[in-house]
């Protein structure tokens, strides 16, 4: 029986947490088929302890292609390497994260190895009898859920949104193999050069990988008012997001935008204030686990999606909430 | 600089309302439009042409009615368009769509750059752009937020990634998928509309394209949809009013209780 693979990601030698989230998904599938789970990592300068963590979090094998030329993600080279591994080891299925690299790598590889790929799956299962990977994903802004399979091609491949599953706890009794591979020179593609990296926005955030997102919309009235949201976000170690209206007004930069023409997020907790809940905004937050909304208008659509809604003035409610959380932290209740 | 822009025609969802009873989208009488995220590709394409010369060709794969999307793009300032249409193309997944579109690009042959939208609002996969690049074996940059310097053989772009912006120097031809930050789409002009009306839109079909029949449409697609569900979008959550100082206090206390229950604090 061929194995289940998950694609791990690293940045500057550090394994990203999304790699562990994928392992918990992969573990379930591998167990159901009674096969093994391998974690595939392309990068450089990753410590043995970090590789070992992949095993403690669910992997049976870790394949690590270790080369400085793999440190930065360049889709041409990374896809050559992954396609080469697929041709050699013939995995049953591959899960990758729906990140900026996973969403570039996987569609490129799907063509190279001639198989299908399903994007942004929210549920994955193995069909009894056939061992087909059942891939369920939202489409049309989350208004339909489609279950898809790839019956006649191999491997069966899917991407999964960051934060849509929890990593397994570390289990130091788990035993697995770490297999280091060298990069074959002929797989290196030098057509594209990374010539720089920019991070000029001090508040640059990775809202797709945050557990808690606190967002504001046009109802925030002006840029300075986002300070109360920032304070709230900090209480949860979360980050601040915004509706498109708030971004178009220049109150927040584009990387903070949530929705159809911004980012799609699946945090554990989404809190929003002064956002009406347009269909384009809702498309980006539907897969959040818990949604809390504050809006003066009881009829605003955001309340249809909220698990807890407060009809009220955000300039009264948010400061009161901040104060209450402060007391809560001090008194433990 | 000759640019090809693959655009998709999708149902217009900006004005779509939710059915409060069923919690689903009301799609009756919904019009078709250019995929809104493709407008950013069209705009930056036109800007590059205006600066560096050459022409912009939009291509769209879909039913004959997709001609309307092509004409709209021409009204915005694109030079010409090609409709890629055949009954045999129906039901294509992203693999088959990107194959068919890449064969259309090969038929056009003369191009320096392909610009695609980041994803389409209906299929919502973002896989077709990268797929076209892979079929053509040309370099790819996704999530492009800025197009910088261009010379005869290369282009510098910034792509938005989790930690910041990666700056890449790409050879030509390459394929870029773009995000909203890249441009601010213009509206069609009257003159453009006139031109669009007068422009013939050639059709590429099975007959005049070099295609492997087994790679087309529903049959040629590796992925198969086996089930469709319409989930309730509404969550039926709790709603509390916060009026007056005491009201706000009570509402916040209830929210704290909710967060405790859900183990959020
Ligand atoms: C192609 C396309 C793509 C789009 N992509 C996106 C996207 O990615 N993300 C996105 O967000 N939008 C997107 N939009 C825009 C979307 O249609 C809405 O215009 C936008 O989401 C509205 O933002 P908003 O909720 O902040 O503003 P509004 O709709 O104006 O809502 C403001 C809300 O604040 C409330 N409010 C005002 N004052 C207070 C107060 N003191 N306390 C509490 N509440 C208050 C009001 O009741 C109102 O509900 C897109 C649109 C199109 C056509
Ligand atoms: N049928 C199509 N015809 C032309 N271009 C398309 C088609 N489908 C997708 N595209 C292009 O690929 C991008 C991503 O689409 P998708 O992978 O469907 O989310 C779109 O923004 C378009 O630029």
Q: How far out from the chain centre does Cα A240 lie?
A: 17
Is residue A164 scored above 90 in pLDDT? no
Ordered domains of chain A (ranges, CATH): 4-187 (3.40.50.620), 212-330 (3.40.50.1220)
Looking at residue B25, its pLDDT comes to 58
Is residue B19 scored above 70 in pLDDT? no
Q: Where are the alpha helices (DSSP H) in A99-258?
A: 102-112, 226-235, 244-248
Mutate to test the pocket of ligand 1, among A222, A280, A313 (most ligand atoms within 8 A of CB): A280
Is residue B236 scored above 90 in pLDDT? no
- Return the structure tokens found at A165: 């599953």
Per DSSP, chain A holds a count of helices (H) and strands (E) of: 9, 18
Do residues B104 and B234 lie in contact, with contact meaning Cβ atoms separated by under 8 Å?
no
Q: Which ligand is nearest to the CA of A296?
A: 1
Instruction: State whether B191 and B238 are in the same domain.
Output: no
Mutate to test the pocket of ligand 1, among B33, B36, B37, B181 (most ligand atoms within 8 A of CB): B36
Task: Report the Cα–Cα distance between both ends of chain B, in Å, rounded.
Answer: 56
Is residue A13 scored above 80 in pLDDT? yes
Do residues B70 and B58 lie in contact, with contact meaning Cβ atoms separated by under 8 Å?
yes
How many angstroms separate the Cα of B223 from the Cα of each of A140, B120, B218, B241? 18, 18, 9, 48
Distance B103 CA to ligand 2 centre (A): 15
Rounded-to-integer distance, Cα A249 and Cα A229, Å: 17
Do residues B132 and B175 lie in contact, with contact meaning Cβ atoms separated by under 8 Å?
yes
- Measure B214 CA to nearest chain A CA, in Å: 13
Looking at residue B228, its pLDDT comes to 87
Instruction: State whether B174 and B67 are in the same domain.
Output: yes
Looking at residue B235, its pLDDT comes to 86
Return the CATH number at B103: 3.40.50.620
Is residue A322 scored above 60 in pLDDT? yes
Is residue A200 scored above 90 in pLDDT? no
Rounded-to-integer distance, Cα B128 and Cα B209, Å: 19
Q: Which of residues 197-216 of A touch B (CB under 8 A)?
A: 197-199, 204, 206, 208-209
Is residue A196 scored above 60 in pLDDT? yes
Q: What is the mean pLDDT of chain A?
A: 95
Looking at residue A279, its pLDDT comes to 87
Question: Based on the structure, what is the number of domains in chain B?
Answer: 2
DSSP H/E element including B220: helix B217-220
Is residue A158 scored above 60 in pLDDT? yes
- Return the structure tokens found at A314: 């955000």
Q: Is residue B225 part of a domain?
A: no
**Which is the closest atom of ligand 2 to the Cα of B84?**
3
CB A79 near ligand 1, within 6 Å: no
Instruction: State whether B257 and B164 are in the same domain.
Output: no
How many angstroms separate the Cα of B29 from the Cα of each of B69, B121, B188? 17, 18, 23
Pairing of strands A144-149, A14-15: unpaired
- Residue B23 sits at the chain A interface (C-beta within 8 Å): yes
Is residue A333 scored above 80 in pLDDT? no
Q: Is residue B196 part of a domain?
A: yes
Q: Is residue B57 part of a domain?
A: yes
Whether the ω angle into residue A12 lies within 30 degrees of 0, i.e. cis, is no
Other CB atoms within a 10 A radius of the CB of residue A90 amount to: 12
Beta-carbon separation of B121 and A141 below 8 A? yes
Other CB atoms within a 10 A radius of the CB of residue B194 amount to: 11
Q: Is residue B221 part of a domain?
A: no
Structural domain that includes position B237 = 230-264
Other CB atoms within a 10 A radius of the CB of residue B19 amount to: 12
Residues of B in contact with A325 (CB under 8 A): 256, 265
Mutate to test the pocket of ligand 2, among B97, B123, B178, B223 (most ligand atoms within 8 A of CB): B97
Q: Residues near B154 by Cβ (< 8 Å), separated by ≥ 6? A: B169, B170, B171, B172
Whether the ω angle into residue A202 lies within 30 degrees of 0, i.e. cis, is no
Q: Which ligand is nearest to the CA of A301?
A: 1
Instruction: State whether B246 and B208 are in the same domain.
Output: no
Q: Is residue B223 part of a domain?
A: no
Q: Which ligand is nearest to the CA of A248?
A: 1
Instruction: State whether B247 and B141 are in the same domain.
Output: no
- Return the structure tokens found at B153: 């053989």
CA neighbor of A269 nearest in space, from A245, A287, A248: A287
Looking at residue B24, its pLDDT comes to 57
The band of A144, judged by pLDDT with boundaries at 50, 70 and 90, is confident
- Closest residue CA from atom 18 of ligand 1: A278
How many angstroms separate the Cα of B85 from the Cα of each of B74, B88, B121, B128, B238? 18, 8, 20, 17, 49
Instruction: State whether B185 and B253 are in the same domain.
Output: no
- Return the structure tokens found at A316: 């009264």
Looking at residue B123, its pLDDT comes to 81
Q: What is the pLDDT of residues B158-212, one digit of tens each?
A: 999 998 999 999 999 999 999 999 999 999 999 999 999 999 999 999 999 999 9
Instruction: State whether B208 and B236 are in the same domain.
Output: no
Rounded-to-integer distance, Cα A143 and Cα A109, Å: 29
* Interval A23-37 mean pLDDT: 98
Is B175 in a helix, a strand, or coil?
strand
Instruction: State whether B154 and B23 are in the same domain.
Output: yes
Instruction: State whether B33 and B154 are in the same domain.
Output: yes
* Interval A45-52 mean pLDDT: 95
How many angstroms separate the Cα of A52 from the Cα of each of A12, A22, A72, A174, A284? 17, 16, 22, 10, 35
Looking at residue A252, its pLDDT comes to 94
* Interval A262-272 mean pLDDT: 95
**Which is the closest atom of ligand 2 to the Cα of B131?**
17
- Could you tell me where the beta strands, DSSP code E, fall in A150-265? 156-160, 177-181, 193-198, 212-216, 239-242
Instruction: State whether B92 and B207 are in the same domain.
Output: yes
Q: Is residue B138 part of a domain?
A: yes
Identify the closest residue of chain A to B140 by CA–CA distance. Answer: A75
- Measure B172 CA to nearest chain A CA, in Å: 10
Instruction: State whether B179 and B238 are in the same domain.
Output: no
The band of B15, judged by pLDDT with boundaries at 50, 70 and 90, is low
- Measure A198 CA to nearest chain B CA, in Å: 5
Do residues A158 and A107 lie in contact, with contact meaning Cβ atoms separated by under 8 Å?
no
How many angstroms separate the Cα of A243 from the Cα of each of A215, A285, A314, B180? 7, 11, 15, 13
Residue B190 per-residue DSSP state: H
Is residue B116 scored above 80 in pLDDT? yes
Residue of A279, A314, A322 to mutate, interface with B, max B Cβ within 10 Å: A279
Beta-carbon separation of A145 and B231 below 8 A? yes
Rounded-to-integer distance, Cα A236 and Cα B248, Å: 21
Q: Residues near A13 by Cβ (< 8 Å), separated by ≥ 6? A: A43, A44, A45, A46, A47, A50, A71
Looking at residue B33, its pLDDT comes to 94
Do residues A273 and A216 lie in contact, with contact meaning Cβ atoms separated by under 8 Å?
yes
Residue of A143, A151, A205, A238 to mutate, interface with B, max B Cβ within 10 Å: A143
Annotated binding site of A for FAD: 243-244, 257-261, 274-281, 295
Give the CA-trace dihedral at B230, B177, A263, B47, to 10 degrees: -120
Instruction: State whether B93 and B180 are in the same domain.
Output: yes
Residue of B125, B219, B257 to mutate, interface with A, max A Cβ within 10 Å: B125
- Which pTM was predicted? 0.92
CA neighbor of A13 nearest in space, from A57, A51, A55: A51
Residues of B in contact with A146 (CB under 8 A): 225, 227-229
* Interval B132-146 mean pLDDT: 98
- Least confident range from A69-83, A247-261, B47-61, B230-244: namely B230-244
The band of B23, judged by pLDDT with boundaries at 50, 70 and 90, is low
The band of A232, judged by pLDDT with boundaries at 50, 70 and 90, is very high
Share above pLDDT 90 across residues of chain B, in percent, rounded to a whole number: 86
Is B2 in a helix, a strand, or coil?
coil
Looking at residue B21, its pLDDT comes to 58
Q: Is residue B166 part of a domain?
A: yes
Opening angle at CA A235, ends A230 and A238, nearest 5: 65
Do residues A309 and A293 lie in contact, with contact meaning Cβ atoms separated by under 8 Å?
yes
CB A280 near ligand 1, within 6 Å: yes
Q: Which ligand is nearest to the CA of B125?
A: 2
Q: Is residue B222 part of a domain?
A: no
Write down the residue that tokens 């997944």 correspond to.
Answer: B93
Is residue A220 scored above 60 in pLDDT? yes
* Interval B148-155 mean pLDDT: 94
Looking at residue A139, its pLDDT comes to 80
């Amino acid at each position: 029986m061929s194995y289940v693979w998950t694609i791990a990601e690293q940045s500057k030698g550090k394994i990203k947490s999304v790699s562990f989230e994928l392992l918990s998904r992969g573990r379930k599938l591998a167990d159901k088929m009674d096969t093994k789970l391998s974690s595939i990592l392309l990068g450089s300068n990753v410590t043995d302890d970090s590789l070992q963590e992949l095993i403690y979090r669910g992997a049976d094998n870790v394949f690590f292609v270790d080369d400085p030329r793999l440190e930065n993600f360049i889709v041409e080279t990374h896809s050559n390497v992954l396609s080469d591994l697929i041709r050699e080891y013939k995995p049953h299925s591959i899960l990758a994260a729906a990140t900026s690299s996973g969403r570039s790598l996987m569609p490129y590889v799907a063509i190279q190895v001639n198989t299908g790929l399903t994007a942004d799956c929210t549920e994955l299962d193995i069909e009894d009898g056939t061992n087909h990977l059942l891939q369920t994903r939202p489409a049309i802004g989350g208004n339909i859920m489609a279950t898809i399979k790839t019956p006649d091609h191999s491997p069966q491949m899917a991407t999964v949104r960051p934060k849509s599953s929890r990593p397994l706890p570390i289990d130091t009794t788990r035993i697995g193999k770490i297999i280091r591979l060298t990069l074959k020179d002929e797989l290196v593609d030098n057509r594209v050069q990374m010539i720089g990296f920019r991070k000029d926005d001090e508040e640059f955030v990775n809202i797709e990988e945050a557990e808690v997102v606190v967002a504001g919309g046009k109802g925030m009235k002006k840029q300075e008012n986002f300070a109360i949201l920032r304070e709230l976000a900090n209480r949860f170690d979360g980050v601040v997001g915004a509706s498109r209206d708030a971004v178009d007004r220049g109150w927040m930069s584009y990387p903070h935008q949530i929705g159809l023409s911004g980012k799609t997020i699946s945090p554990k907790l989404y809190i929003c204030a002064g956002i009406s809940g347009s269909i384009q905004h809702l498309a980006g937050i539907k897969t959040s686990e818990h949604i809390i909304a504050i809006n003066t208008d009881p009829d605003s659509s955001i309340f249809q999606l909220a698990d807890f809604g407060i009809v009220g003035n955000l300039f009264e409610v948010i400061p009161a909430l901040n104060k209450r959380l402060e007391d809560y932290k001090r008194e433990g209740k | 600089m000759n640019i090809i822009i693959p655009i998709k025609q999708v149902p217009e969802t900006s004005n779509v309302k939710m059915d409060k009873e069923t919690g689903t989208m009301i799609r009756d009488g919904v019009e078709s439009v250019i995929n809104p995220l493709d407008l950013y590709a069209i705009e930056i394409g036109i800007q590059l042409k205006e600066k560096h010369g050459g022409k912009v060709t939009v291509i769209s794969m879909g039913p004959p009615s997709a001609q309307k999307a092509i004409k709209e793009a021409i009204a915005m300032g694109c030079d010409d368009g090609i409709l890629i249409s055949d009954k045999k193309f129906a039901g294509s997944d992203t693999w088959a769509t990107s194959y068919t579109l890449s064969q259309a690009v090969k038929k056009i042959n003369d191009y320096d750059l392909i610009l695609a939208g980041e994803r389409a609002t209906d299929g919502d996969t973002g896989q077709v752009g990268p797929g076209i690049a892979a079929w053509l074996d040309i370099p790819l940059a996704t999530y492009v937020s800025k197009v910088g310097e261009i010379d005869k053989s290369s282009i510098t772009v910034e792509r938005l990634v989790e930690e910041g912006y990666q700056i890449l120097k790409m050879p030509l031809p390459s394929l870029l998928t773009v995000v909203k930050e890249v441009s601010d789409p213009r509206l069609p002009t009257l003159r453009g509309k006139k031109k669009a009306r007068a422009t013939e839109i050639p059709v590429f079909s099975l007959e005049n394209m070099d295609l492997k029949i087994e790679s087309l449409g529903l049959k040629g697609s590796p992925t198969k949809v086996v089930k469709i569900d319409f989930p309730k979008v509404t969550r039926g959550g709790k709603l509390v009013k916060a009026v007056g100082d005491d009201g706000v206090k009570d509402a916040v206390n209830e929210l704290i209780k909710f967060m405790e229950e859900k183990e959020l604090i």
